[in-house]
Each structure stands twice: as C-alpha cells, then as structure tokens.
Chain A
Amino acid sequence: MRKGMFVLHHNEPHQVISHEFVSPGKGSAFTRVKLRNVLTSKMMDFTYKTTEQVELAEVETRELQYIYQEGNNFVFMNPRTYDQVEVSGEVMGSDHNFLKEEMICHVQFYNDQPIGIFLPKKVTLEVTEAEEAVAGDRVTAPKKQAKLETGATIAVPIFVKTGDKVVIDTSTGEYVSRNN
C-alpha cells in the first residue's frame, strides 16, 4: 500500500491518502488507510489485513499541457490531438500553486474522468516579489518569503531577489535552487 495509489474498495475507485500500521494488542498486523473516493471525494478510514490482496483501480495517465484557468477549473490540452479536458479545482488541490501555462503534466483518468494530477517533479518559476532579508535573525533558519509568478508564496534563502528564477520541488512545495 502506497500513498497516492488508486485501489478499488467496494468496487469504487479510491485514492490512498495515508496509511499506518496497526497491531491490536495480541493480534496480527493490519494497515489502516485513509481513502478518498475519487468519484464522490468522500473520505473514509478502512483497515486492511496485511495479507489482503487489494485490487488496483485501472487508472490511466495521459500527458497533457495546461492552457488556462476557467473559474474553478483548469483546462488542459492534448498536444497531439488538441482535445481539451477540464480538471476541477478539487482534483487539482494545492498543485495549482506551481502550475504555469504550457506546463506538461500527467493527468490521471478513471473511466475518462480526470481524478488526479502530477506536476513535473521540479518546476522553474519566476520570483515576482521577494521580502527584504531581515539581518541578525540567526535563531531560525535563514529564510524569507517570496511570491512566485503563479501567486504562491514560498520560503526561500535570503539571497533570492525579485526577478530570479527558482526551482521548486512540487511534491513538497519547497525551494530547491536558484536557476537564473
């Protein structure tokens, strides 16, 4: 069982949000998972026997290019067929913080419905606004806040300036390096 994977639970596709080991006193081992029903977005807990065979939901991944936002939806295009697909804000989650036009993403489909998205592991974004560094604050890590061209705010090292291009790890949302 891995975080992010899609499984069939009572014949409906669910994404594994988190999982933990459970051993009830003098009992064998179990895995407690938090599942999100990808059709209804409903969250639930379920405890599997660790010996259980879990059926994977047949999820297909397609490479699509982000073109624009429309209300709460994000419109993607298949660069080969020019077919358009709308991904809801719910499916997008906080990933929109690092989503930039023309970015190529992996969108996951179940029965032709978009149910998940992966941004490139690392993206390069421009800093549109960086705080002045505060000198002398050495107790906490030497970081400051910077606003990116996508509107998101992240912590960056104090040497980063407005106009710099920075590399972000999209899985953690953290600054990786400067890339001017």
Chain B
Amino acid sequence: MSSHQFNFPVLKQRAVIVQAIRDFFRRSGFWEAETPQLVPLPSMEPYLEVFETQLLDQNRQPTRAFLISSPEYAMKQMLAAGSGNIFQITKSFRNAEGVSPRHNPEFSILEWYRVGADYLQIMDDCEQLLKSIAKTIHPDQQPILEYQGEIYNLTEPWERITVSQAFKKYAQIDQKTLLTTPKLLAASKERGYQVNEQTTWEEVYNQIFLNEIEPNLGKTKPTIIYEYPVSQAALSKKKKSDPRFAERFEFYINGLELGNAFSELTDWQEQLNRLKEDQQEKARTGRTLFDIDYNFINALKSGLPECAGIAVGVDRLVMLFTDQPSIQETLAFPATHLWPELIK
C-alpha cells in the first residue's frame, strides 16, 4: 500500500470556499438547517441507486435504513413548517455510478430554498454566489474563474438559453420535433443514433442533449439553461404560460453541470402521483425499492409555501475554483483511494 499524499493547499482552499458559501447565505438572510443523512426512507429519484443499511434495536432486530441521495425531502418538511429561507451543506450518497472525474459515491451537496420566490430568483442567487466565492479567493480582481487554461467571466448576467432554443441552436431541432415522440425518434435516427422499438423519448432527448448541447454550455461565462420539457422535472412547477415546460434550470461551466433548480412543486396530489410513477420506474429498472415517504407528502398537504430551490455539487465547485482536473483531487479521502480497485 502506497502512502497517502494529502494535497493540503487544495484542501485548505476547499475549506475557504465552503466558508465563503456559508458566509454568502448568512449575509443573504438564510439560516443553515441540519437534516439527517441516515433516514428510514430516501428520496424517490427513479434513476438513482441508494445505499441501504440496517438499523438494529437493542435486541438487534433490524429495520431498513438508507443514506440520503439529497436532503430535499427533509428541508421541504422544514419549509412547510415555517422555517423561512434555509440552506444546507451536507454529505449525500449515490450508489452504482462508478467513480469518474465528476463522480464520487459520497459527495457534498449544497441546497438552498427561497420562500416566496421562483426559479428566476435562484438564477440570481447562483450568479451572486459564484461571484462571492471568486471575490473571497481573489479580493482585488474581477470575478473570474481560471480553469485548466481557460478563463470564465462570472459577472452577471450569465448566458441564459431555454432548452428549446438550445436544441434549435446546437442540434437544429425545432420545438415541435422536440416535443413529439415519433418526430424526435426519427430525427435522432437520422443523426446516427441507435433507435429501436424500446427507445424512449427521454433516452433520445438526453442523448442529443449530452452529445450535442451540453459541450457548448458555459464556454466563456456560465450558462443557465432553463424551461425543461415537463417530463424532465419531477419536483418542479409547470410554467404557467406554457405547461408543456417546467420551471427548472441547470447551470453549467465548461460543459460541467453544477446545479439543478426548480420552482418547487407545492401540489401534494401531483407530487404523490409523480412519486408513484417514479416508484414504478425503479421497479421496472431493477433498482432498490422502498415505500413512498408520507411524512414528505403530509408536509406538502399541510402547505408548502411558494418557494424555489436548488442543489449544487460542492466538490465540483471546489474543483473549478482550485483548478483541479477531477473532484477526487478536492477530497482528502476520495473513493479511489479508499477502494483502489474501483479505478480499474
């Protein structure tokens, strides 16, 4: 076993960045909630696999227990009970994703929720947050990010483009084609992607997005891509003026997704329906199954205030601000060190 090399300059910079994030939210009228990482029921995210363990009572009788894949359900219960604006930096866990420059099974997630706001205000928060981190690191220079030889200007306004506009601009696919399953499947086949009877709209939509759109996002400044087709936004509100789209956005730098935001769905009945569909999807794809969290549904029933929120990958942010090629370099104990066999 080789001795472990700690990259202390990067780890210290990480601590500075995490502190800068906390300072930013305290200054902006948020308080930091603390919710559990070990829970009886995790989030029902259909395409994520969970970590399951057992909680033993004093007679060693087991109960199912899970590590969270995000603190969202707990934070929404606090919002429904009247917490006001809250944020949190916590560990989250996702299984069966392998280890890559952008993934570690345990990662740090930043979530914040703004009461009485919609996704547009979260866009502004993102601009101000990144600027504030840059200012903390380099107080006497313009808010820029230097990453792997490229310079990104963090000054607002960032580039803003809707999903429809991006499909038109980068893949020459118009909105009608995008939203019509047979048309999109045909367009996708024409572009050389594999399409067969089992191929779904969601698969070709994401495959075109990943291959032809994502690499163009966040080239010289961050890009906010917004208004997703409604099927791509399980926890978000539909856009009032066009219910085929949801009030969701993501922001990107250098083709790297950094955060995913919604105007939060407050309708408990619709939320419950979507969770049931997601549970079906988990069953269909052979993932670990568990019950719907009715504490979460009941909280929505009691009244989740109009709010918007976002989840941001802290390790990815640190990777960018410390100019490291992968998130593993930003961690004192990356999974690749703890389980060297994972690299193969």
CB pair A26 B233 closer than 8 Å: yes
Q: Does B111 contact A (CB under 8 A)?
A: no
Residues in A with CB closer than 8 Å to B120 are none
Q: Find out whether the CB atom of A25 lies under 8 angstroms from the CB atom of B211.
A: no
Interface pair B47/A141, CB less than 8 Å apart = no
Give which listed residue, B47, B97, B194, B233, contacts A28 with CB less than 8 A.
B47
A and B contact pairs by CB, cutoff 8 A, 13 listed: A20-B100, A21-B97, A24-B206, A24-B209, A27-B202, A27-B205, A27-B206, A28-B203, A28-B206, A32-B210, A47-B207, A51-B199, A51-B203
Q: A47-B210, A51-B198, A141-B2 are in contact. Are A27 and B103 (CB under 8 A)?
A: no
A-contact 0/1 string along B264-281, CB 8 Å cutoff? 000000000000000000
Cα distance A178–B206 in the bound complex, in angstroms: 52
* Chain A residues touching B, majority SS: loop
Q: Is the interface of B mostly helix, strand, loop or mixed?
A: loop
Instruction: State how many angstroms separate the Cβ of A37 from the closest Cβ of chain B.
Output: 15
Residues of B in contact, count (CB < 8 Å)? 33
Which residues on B are within 8 Å of A, measured CB to CB?
2-3, 45-48, 97-98, 100-103, 192, 194, 198-200, 202-203, 205-207, 209-211, 215, 232-234, 250, 257, 260, 285
Residue A40 CB within 8 A of the other chain: no
Residue of A nearest to B208 (CB): A47
* Complex contacts, A51 vs chain B, CB 8 Å: 198-199, 203
A52 at the interface (CB under 8 A from B): yes
Q: Is A80 an interface residue (CB 8 A)?
A: no
B210 & A24 in contact (Cβ 8 Å cutoff): yes
A29 contacts B103, CB within 8 Å?
no
Cβ 8 A contact of A45, one of B3, B98, B215: B215
Instruction: Assess whether A24 is in contact with B203, with CB atoms less than 8 Å apart.
Output: no
| Distance to closest chain A CB from B162 (angstroms) | 16
- Chain A stretch 5-28: residues in CB contact (< 8 A) with chain B: 10, 20-28
A81 adjacent to chain B (CB < 8 Å): no
Q: Which of A20, A45, A47 has the most CB of B within 10 A?
A: A47
Q: In the complex, what distance in Å separates the CA atom of A21 from the CA atom of B3?
A: 29
Complex CA distance for A24 and B206, rounded to whole angstroms = 7
Q: A21 touching B198 by the CB < 8 A rule?
A: no
Cβ of B203 and Cβ of A26 under 8 Å apart?
A: no
